Structure 1
Amino acid sequence: MRGASPSRRRKVYPSAFPLNRSLDRCRRTVEKLLWTAVRTGLGRQVERVECSRPRPPTGDVCMAVREAEPVGSLQEVKDAGLDREDLLGIYRNMLTARAVEERGHILYKQGKIPGSFYTGRGNEATSVGVASAMAPNDVGTPLQRDIGVHITRGLEPWRVISQYMGRSDGPTKGRDGNIHLGDSSLGTYAMVSHLPAMLPVAVGMALAFRIREEKRVAVAWCGEGASARGDAHEGMNFAGVRRLPVVFVIDNNQWAYSTPSYLEFAVEHLADRAAAYGFEGVVVDGTDVLAVYREAKWAIEKAREGGGPTLIESVTLRMEGHAVHDDAFYVPKEMFEEWAKRDPIERFRWWLRDNASLSDEEEDEITSSVKRTTNEAVERAEESPFPDPSTLLEGVFATPEELDTPHHK
């Protein structure tokens, strides 16, 4: 496959923050205290804690973190259940997600988008790869950089752009003008800005599936920064204890706004945390859409059959600022240059050419179709009316018709 996989070990860049010196002093102090404890015999009281709680016979849940291998051949893809049309569909969805966001960026600069604007450039493989692995009746809580999830689940691009523009044909009917969107008929539920508040929500959905004895799975997304908050711990701990049918996806794009990952967590991999909750963690190259699909498919089907949760850490780089108002001056230029060589769309395009005989004619047709769809989406969104102020309170509570979907039964 074209493009080397990104390093599995986090590269530490020199920090401009004086806080580092204080952190180093604290670390040295803690190391001295621990060494003193060991020398005085206190360390002998510390024993390795193993997973000894009786579990259903579904395999060993105390697993070391696993680093996923790249997908190298068409046969591996077929073994994962994808045919050539599926592959071209994934490619089209990745292109569409990027095209919609690029057009949204232009609309924002033109003053046609009232709120802020967030993009997921560089995250297309993760969002489309995971969503492609979900069954139609599964549910998910995608985030602001996961437009690819919405596109893959069937949300039309013109409705996405209507959402950005605050028009009544958007999923929130003009109430938001931002990325807090979802469509319960498609199994997606709107995020809130207090990340990762949607993780416990997804866990609650998974608990409902368990109670109803439904073979459905919830997928919960969060970023590496949000994974440090209490909601993530509470959700993962509860899911691990109950062995619920939920898959956690951490989009590790290495920057929580302007905070680099080495100031966010101390473990080598965020997926290392999974063992503490009693389930498996896996690290995957987030620029390899097929590897993402394979790992997500395996985790989702395992959860569906009663095997419990999985934590997937997808390693990427946020290729733009936190939002369009942020120029990301704090990210080293060399870091952007390195990861630009691993662009997920280019990487998959070359894979399709090398392994699935993607022709120039097919590529031109897909590209032209995506461009045409995006242009039509903007035109239709601009024709969509602004919401009627008299309908302001509509949608505060769900109607019986809105509840009559497979995801609420």
Structure 2
Amino acid sequence: MVSRAAPARQSPPIPAGLTRDHLVEIYRYLRLTRTLEERLTALYRQSKVIGGLFRSLGQEGESVATAYALARGPNQDILSPLIRNLGSMLVMGAPPIEILRQYMAKAEGPTRGRELNVHFNDLEKGYLGQISHLGDMIPVMAGIALTFKLRGEPRVGLVYIGDGGTSTGTFHEGLNFAVVQKVPLVVIAEYNRWAYSTPPEKQFAVKDLAEKAKAYGIPGTTVDGNDVLAVYEATKFAVERARRGHGVHLIEVKTYRRTGHAEHDDQHYVPKDELDWWAKENDPVDRYVKQLVQNAWVEDRDLKGIDEGVKAEIDEATDACVDEPLPPPDSALDGVYIDPPAAPRHWYRGL
């Protein structure tokens, strides 16, 4: 009797038109986001970070996947991140060393120590720093998307809004304007369970944020925000729809904020068993790794190699900038007044 080896297991097709290289690149951005934020947390606890630190732990997947669906490069699509969308900026090309410098208010940072966290732009790479007032980036991005339409450019804008932010007047005004003008804009509504310390049932009466889209006459899609490929597929569809001239699309991503509003927030208002469940059962990075390995799309050793490379990159970036100087005090007026040296050095003490 001739023994025969069992047939090799066939991997299921990779979804959404992606390739193995795409899957690996997405994983690298996920790992880069988490590792960079872990480093920022360590620096914050050493008092090297100036101001607040806002982490995306537990919701990195939706930031990376949504940005990955855009056209990237000079004069391509533009997104506007919120404080928890660091992953989207990395996908668009923000260098980790610039983010480290920005958080530590270094003189060589993107804003020369004058702004904090993700409040900075690189329009050539395709990201626009947020305005702190929640909801305000909806009308800003509506205006940017309108310029794409008026110029006949095949470009798309993407903007993030938190569940609490959908309660603001500017969210309504900006979205209504964008819809009426039929601009190429994709709105990512993040249902992450907590608007600072306010649960969703005290913010709005609808079950799903996507239901709000009905009032504006636009498509509204709800997707599992911790399923990286599902988020990518939904966003890719909305982006290409907008690019073809069909207007605004709202995507609700169901995810979870596993840290406080910022590092200073101890989350005493969140049940511990709730946090534990999301960490153990619904972590977006863990779920993505499991999907890659179980479907034999990527081998575990390849992912470990990426982990090592990302850690080395963050170590190198940290070492390169952690001891850089802060901006000199007498440069505070640079970029504010047309002729700063003409002002008395300590003019403000007379106020």
Same fold (TM over 0.5): yes
Query: Which of 96, 99, 110 lines up with 1:157 in the alignment?
Result: 96
Partner residue, 1:110: 46
Paired residue secondary structure (1:255)? coil
Q: How far, CA to CA, are the matches of 1:359 and 1:207 in structure 2?
A: 44
For 1:214-363, list aligned pairs within 5 A.
214-340=153-279, 341-363=281-303
Residue 386 of structure 1 is aligned with which of 296, 312, 326?
Answer: 326
Query: Structure 1 residues 84 and 276, CA, compared in 2 at 3 Å: closer, same or farther?
Result: same
The one-letter amino acid of 2:19's match is: D
Summarize the Cα distance change of 1:357–1:178 in structure 2 as closer, same or farther, 3 Å threshold: closer
State how far apart, in whole Å, the 2-side matches of 1:393 and 1:86 are.
Answer: 45
Q: CA deviation at 1:214?
A: 0.8
> What amino acid is the match of 1:285?
D
- Quote the RMSD (CA, aligned, Å): 1.7
1:75 aligns with 2:1: no
Partner secondary structure for residue 177 of structure 2: helix
Q: Quick one: structure 1 residues 396 and 83, their matched pair in 2 at CA, closer, same or farther if it must change by over 3 Å?
A: farther
Residue in 1 that maps onto 2:341: none
Give the residue type in structure 2 aligned to 1:114. I
In structure 2, how many angstroms separate the alpha carbons of the residues matched to 1:389 and 1:185?
30
Hey, what does 1:146 align to over in structure 2?
85
Aligned partners of 2:198, 2:157: CA distance in 1, in Å?
29
Write the letter of the residue equivalent to 1:167: K
- Per the TM alignment, residue 102 of structure 1 is displaced from its structure 2 partner at its CA by 0.8
Query: What CA distance in whole angstroms lies between the structure 2 residues aligned with 1:323 and 1:184?
Result: 27
Cα distance in 1 for residues equivalent to 2:245 and 2:297:
38
- Tell me the alpha carbon deviations over residues 350-379 of structure 1, each in whole angstroms, 9 at most, x when there is no partner: 111012442232122111001111111111
Aligned twin of 2:125: 186
Paired with 1:74 and 1:238, the residues of 2 have a C-alpha distance of 43
Identity over the aligned pairs, expressed in percent? 43
Does the 8 A contact of 2:190 with 2:252 survive in 1?
yes
Q: Which runs of 5+ in 2 are unaligned?
A: 1-10, 338-351
Q: Distance in 1 between matches of 2:336 and 2:123?
A: 15
Alignment check: 8 A CA contact 1:113 1:177 kept? no
Structure 2: distance between partners of 1:305 and 1:364: 39
Q: Which runs of 5+ in 1 are unaligned?
A: 1-72, 398-409
Equivalent residue for 1:100, pick from 29, 32, 36: 36
Q: Secondary structure at the match of 2:251?
A: strand
* Alignment check: 8 A CA contact 1:165 1:381 kept: no
8 Å CA contact retained: 2:20, 2:297: no
In structure 2, give the amino acid aligned to 1:339: W
Which segments of structure 1 move beyond 6 Å, counting only runs of 4 or more?
A: none
Q: Are the aligned partners of 1:84 and 1:356 in contact in 2 as well (CA < 8 Å)?
A: no
8 Å CA contact 1:131–1:153 kept in 2: the answer is yes
Return the TM-score normalized by structure 1.
Answer: 0.76
Q: Report the residue type matching 2:83 in the other structure.
A: Q
Whole-Å Cα distance in 2 between the matches of residues 89 and 182 of structure 1? 23
- Equivalent-residue separation in structure 1 for 2:333 and 2:211 (angstroms): 45
Distance 1:95 1:342 in 2: 16
The 3-state SS of whatever aligns with 1:256 is coil
Going from structure 1 to structure 2, the CA distance change for 1:122 and 1:395 (only over 3 Å counts) comes to farther
Match of 1:125 in 2: 61
The aligned length equals 324
CA contact under 8 A between 2:156 and 2:184: conserved in structure 1? yes
Letter of the aligned partner of 1:99 in structure 2?
T
